[in-house]
Structure 1
Amino acid sequence: MKTIISTISLCVITAALLLAGCTKLNENILDESSAGGQTEKETAEGFIAPVYATLPNLFLHTNYLAVQEISTDEAILPYRGGTDWGDNGIYIALHSHNFGTTDAPGRNTWNFLTQGISRCVSAISVLPTSTFASAKTFLAEARAMRAYYSMVMLDIFGVVFIKENPNDFSRVARGAEAYEYIKSEFLAAEPDLASDVTHGRLSKEAVWGLLARLYLNAAVYRDVYGTPDFQREDMNKVIEYTDKVIASGKYALSPEYFAIFDDNNDTNKEIIFAVDQRADLNGHNRMAYFSLSGDQFPLPQYVAANGTDGPAITSDFYRSWVDAYTPADPVIDPRFFKDNLKIRPGSGDTCIPAAQFHINRGILRGQQYGLIRRSGAFVKCANGDMLVSRLAHDTRNRPDLPVNFTEQVDFTTAGSNYPSGYRVSKYEFSRKSVSGRNFGEANIVILRLADIYLMRAEAKLRANNDAPGALADVNTVRAARTARMAPPALNVMNLDLLFRERGFELYWECLRRTDMIRFSKYEDSWTEKSSTDKQKRIFPIPQTAIDGASNVPGYLVQNPGY
């Protein structure tokens, strides 16, 4: 088996993208001198591992999550207190649809996508000659991962790079051609994929689910600036592939909604495909800390593990919950909130054993309670338990300012202050990692069974106006959350209600922007966003990539409007 591979072939997709796609690699790069002692198994694994190793960087909270969520009505990140998260206005621009060609969220997302594709190409070029028993499966995974990275790239930037050999020059595809290429790659890989792999690898079932996602968005991908023309043939394919996932019997809806995002979710049966973040795989996501206050400390063993006063949900998204459940409070939906602390306003200080201390999960409103840090240590009760009390912004040197999350959040002085905006505590802080804050070990969900049901419901509505069938799928998901209380069943179903339901079930899972475009809601107005420019449906190609391709005239053309 040939085992020579250059760093260039791993970190660029084409010579023209050298500046945009090259990053320092953590994997060991094989050459003639190091390959001599490698077994066929070690060599094959050495090529498939980098294919997945790009995912943690892609899903870093300020990259793909920012692009998919802060650009929508689900998340807003103001210039906190005039001192935090200013970042040259990139998050304000992201939310208000004033994207720039040099802004970090888009640029970094582009870089990691092109890096992931190039690693797939390298694996695809070498694995066919391997004699390792699993090499054929690895090859299929590399090909399917190339299709996945390409699908995300088409979704965000409207382009796909097509190449088979690391030494070839990539061909740029857009629109229907790019869509057909991605579909053909998934279909070609599917027969050789395995079903008995962890959800950190692409299984046959995971590709069925990704094919369903691709067909569901086909109308947008073929004509990103037009009014989506959903074809019955595509919707029937969504139904076909979601049926296959459900019929496989491998997956089960989680009775406890927030268990899907717990620290130990590597065994959760609802997850179909995820970014594997276990400690032995250098898990490092910061999904848990991104939205919380800097004075919320979720882990008694880590005095430095706190939030960052980052993004909040908009009032618009919060009101969608209120409107759905009025006159009841949205807490009747177990996806909205999980009360772990069970402390009520007006109650005195509380003592909780360290092992039993867990912060609340979901959407956090009002006065927050938690651990009190003084002089670098947490305050304890006389019996040694952790003191839990009302929180104030001590870390901001504002002990007079309570950590009292308000509904108002915007770019005004009042609306961007530290307590503004209801926060999201969806992923659990790691109780096992070496720092708690920086090394979150919850696997980041890419695809799960609830989305399979909701995609099938949408396809039923779009293909055949099958409202009863769609309603049954939505209620199946709602009825499954029985660990505390199931949300009340719905009585009717239409596309607007289904869009709302996807928001309730899948908020902050990197799907909102794609959903809003597909449902023709991305040009709507919401807090601090009034742009109706259809050209903002996709992001600009980063200037670094345009500059890197400038020696080949006409090769990489900037998207319209930038």
Structure 2
Amino acid sequence: MKKKILLLSLCFSILFANSCTDLEEEVLDESLTGGASPEAAADGIIAPVYAAMPELFLHTRYFALQEITTDEAILPFRGGKDWGDNNIYIDLHRHNPTSQNVPVNDAWRSIIIQGVTRSVTAINALAEMEGDAAKLYWAEAKAMRAYYSMLSLDLFGLIFVKDNLSETSTIMRGNDAVEYIKAELLEIESQVSNNVGPGRITQAAVWGLLARLHLNAAVYRDPYADSFSFSTEDLDKVIEYCDKVVALGQYQFSPEYFEIFDDENHTNKELIFAVDQRSDLNGHNRLAYFSLSGDQFPLPEFPKANGTDGPAITPDFYHSWTDAYGGEDPATKDSRFYKKNLNIPADSCMTGASFEIDRGILRGQQYGLQTPANGTPFTRCGDGGANYKVGKLFNRTRGLASVPVNFTEFVNFTEAGRGYSNGYRVLKYEFSKKSDTGRNKGDADIIILRLADIYMMRAEAKLRKGNAADALTDVNTVRASRTARITPPALGEMTLDILFRERGFEFYWEMQRRTDMIRFGKYEGSWTEKTDTDKRKRLFPIPQSAIDGASEIPGYLVQNASY
């Protein structure tokens, strides 16, 4: 018996049978017999389903759609030279992408052409196999198809449903799509394990995804509504599934907030579901390097591993922190905002092992490894060369050796606001200690679902049902759990605006902001360079290549409104 694994023959087969576009992957047929154990064969079939995840969670795909479109992140045309890219990120921030927008097209391919299609192939192959491993992986493949479908529904307002690649997919929207995803997850709820790591689907992950589905169901059923009707049934389900995860007692809050995002976080007890990026899986380091200055080199042993002067946080998001703490420095009030690792000038001469740059939201003059004018190698101290010199950073890699790397609050798309030091930056995920280029070899699991989100979803469901007291308790439980350094003070009241603000504090840079803004009715607001109020921009355009590929079936794939 031969099964198609690893790469799939697409020919746009997730949409319809017997029609091809240029969106093709190579077909690799591998025999699953000939000495391979049933467990190894099953491993080979499920692997491509999960292997689609790192590419989806690249900085220029799902991150761009979920963060740069929001009040959390902005990516200017840096210095008039970098990250212009035909305005694709500017258009995202302004809610003005086209059907040719590269991040939108890349996310579509990762989710639908790779994720959903690979899941369908695995489901079919595993259904024909014997053994416990095949049964377990079949359930995981079903859950992953549901997860990819949920992403498609969230971003594009539709899902493609088929059980065999030779069939023409049925397109579902609205309530039909919600009910389909729910049924898929409920079918395998009792068939997956809770004894595998966060890089695979577990029962807790299924419950968490069901909670997320029900929390957003009002949006998914009517994405252009003037206001959303959150049903009691949906909110009760959110509470029910969150209660189940908490009752397991398997997950724990991390006292040190930034340890959740360390480069070796796979065993962190707060993670429920994540993209497994351990080095043997060839992960990427993009979420760490993306926002840092080109003159920030976090790894003394790798002088080619630096930042790229990408997105900054917006002044609007920064002020949500300062306003919450009465104008006082958030770094002194909330350990989630910032973690200081470099002490300058006391630590101006350091060993490589002790050098670690700051984490969180980075402001003001930045310090780090010193480089001569040509950028390499790092300058050693005058102590025989064992230690590295650490001091003020300048924009040498940008040809601006006299201009300090001094991050400012001010950032926008004007010439004055798009300089290399404009905007406060974010280093939430630790820069991988194995990343010799700064781009690849990331060890950090990219988080999809963690315990704090379970508590926060439950809090929101309770609050929308009118139980502000219990919602406040859940939110304060999360805040009180960060005990390693500065524990945020308990909140005294809970409203939807406070909860929205609190989700921003807990989950910034974790690719939840767009979905949150839509659900809380904030997405049509104004921030930095964004003034568009068109509620139809809640969904992204369907790529023109997909519409062209489906053109032989009239009316089959219709572009989303306003595009």
Tell me by how many angstroms 1:189 deviates: 1.6
Q: Is the 8 A contact 2:175 2:220 kept in 1?
A: yes
- Partner SS for 1:299: coil
> Quick one: structure 1 residues 151 and 21, their matched pair in 2 at CA, closer, same or farther if it must change by over 3 Å?
farther
Paired letter, 1:233? E
Whole-angstrom distance in 1 between the partners of 2:39 and 2:23:
28
Alignment of 1:409-558 (within 5 A): 409-463=411-465, 465-558=466-559
Whole-angstrom distance in 2 between the partners of 1:13 and 1:342:
54
Match of residue 76 from structure 1: 74
Q: Is the 8 A contact 1:209 1:452 kept in 2?
A: yes
Q: Is the 8 A contact 2:67 2:511 kept in 1?
A: yes
Alignment of 1:387-398 (within 5 A): 387-398=389-400
Match of residue 408 from structure 1: 410
Deviations 1:12-53 (A, max 9, x none): 41347843753458xxx3345x74343222221111001100
Match of residue 223 from structure 2: 224
Whole-angstrom distance in 2 between the partners of 1:288 and 1:179:
34
Deviations 1:202-240 (A, max 9, x none): 000001000000000000000000021001110010000
1:351 aligns with 2:349: yes
RMSD value, Cα: 1.6
Paired letter, 2:203? K
Match of residue 245 from structure 2: 245
Q: Is the 8 A contact 1:44 1:132 kept in 2?
A: no
> Quick one: structure 1 residues 20 and 195, their matched pair in 2 at CA, closer, same or farther if it must change by over 3 Å?
farther
Deviations 1:1-21 (A, max 9, x none): 663568415974134784375
- Partner SS for 2:472: helix
Paired letter, 1:289? Y
Match of residue 214 from structure 2: 215
Tell me by how many angstroms 1:448 deviates: 0.3
Whole-angstrom distance in 1 between the partners of 2:222 and 2:417:
37
Paired letter, 2:160? F
User: Which range moved further: 243-252 or 278-287?
Assistant: 278-287
Deviations 1:475-510 (A, max 9, x none): 100001011121111111111000000000000101
Q: Is the 8 A contact 1:409 1:415 kept in 2?
A: yes
Match of residue 187 from structure 1: 186
Whole-angstrom distance in 1 between the partners of 2:135 and 2:422:
52
Q: Is the 8 A contact 2:4 2:121 kept in 1?
A: no
Whole-angstrom distance in 1 between the partners of 2:123 and 2:519:
32
Gaps of 5+ in 2: none
Q: Is the 8 A contact 1:257 1:481 kept in 2?
A: yes
Whole-angstrom distance in 1 between the partners of 2:364 and 2:487:
24
Whole-angstrom distance in 2 between the partners of 1:20 and 1:238:
41
Gaps of 5+ in 1: none
Alignment of 1:272-311 (within 5 A): 272-311=272-311
1:271 aligns with 2:252: no
Whole-angstrom distance in 2 between the partners of 1:10 and 1:272:
35
1:52 paired residue among 47, 50, 53:
50
Whole-angstrom distance in 2 between the partners of 1:270 and 1:259:
10
Whole-angstrom distance in 2 between the partners of 1:515 and 1:13:
29
Q: Is the 8 A contact 1:3 1:43 kept in 2?
A: no
- Partner SS for 2:546: helix
Whole-angstrom distance in 1 between the partners of 2:306 and 2:62:
22
Match of residue 369 from structure 2: 371
Tell me by how many angstroms 1:353 deviates: 1.2
TM-score (norm 1): 0.96
Alignment of 1:7-406 (within 5 A): 7-8=8-9, 12-15=13-16, 18-19=20-21, 22-23=24-25, 29-31=28-30, 35-114=33-112, 115-226=114-225, 227-331=227-331, 332-343=333-344, 347=345, 350-374=348-372, 375=374, 376-383=376-383, 384-406=386-408
- Partner SS for 1:416: coil
* Number of matched pairs: 554
Whole-angstrom distance in 2 between the partners of 1:258 and 1:515:
22
Q: Is the 8 A contact 1:13 1:21 kept in 2?
A: no
- Partner SS for 1:362: strand
Q: Is the 8 A contact 2:46 2:137 kept in 1?
A: yes
Tell me by how many angstroms 1:373 deviates: 1.8
Whole-angstrom distance in 1 between the partners of 2:530 and 2:224:
19
Q: Is the 8 A contact 1:9 1:167 kept in 2?
A: no
Deviations 1:46-92 (A, max 9, x none): 11001100000000010000000000000000000000000000000
Whole-angstrom distance in 2 between the partners of 1:23 and 1:475:
48
Q: Is the 8 A contact 1:219 1:230 kept in 2?
A: yes
Q: Is the 8 A contact 2:302 2:436 kept in 1?
A: no
Q: Is the 8 A contact 1:10 1:118 kept in 2?
A: no
Q: Is the 8 A contact 2:365 2:392 kept in 1?
A: yes
> Quick one: structure 1 residues 18 and 175, their matched pair in 2 at CA, closer, same or farther if it must change by over 3 Å?
farther
Tell me by how many angstroms 1:461 deviates: 0.5
Q: Is the 8 A contact 1:284 1:439 kept in 2?
A: yes
- Partner SS for 2:288: coil
Deviations 1:225-281 (A, max 9, x none): 002100111001000000000110110000000000001101100000000001111
Paired letter, 2:403? L
Whole-angstrom distance in 2 between the partners of 1:357 and 1:274:
28
Q: Identity of paired residues, percent?
A: 60
Paired letter, 2:237? K
Q: Is the 8 A contact 2:338 2:360 kept in 1?
A: yes
Paired letter, 1:413? E
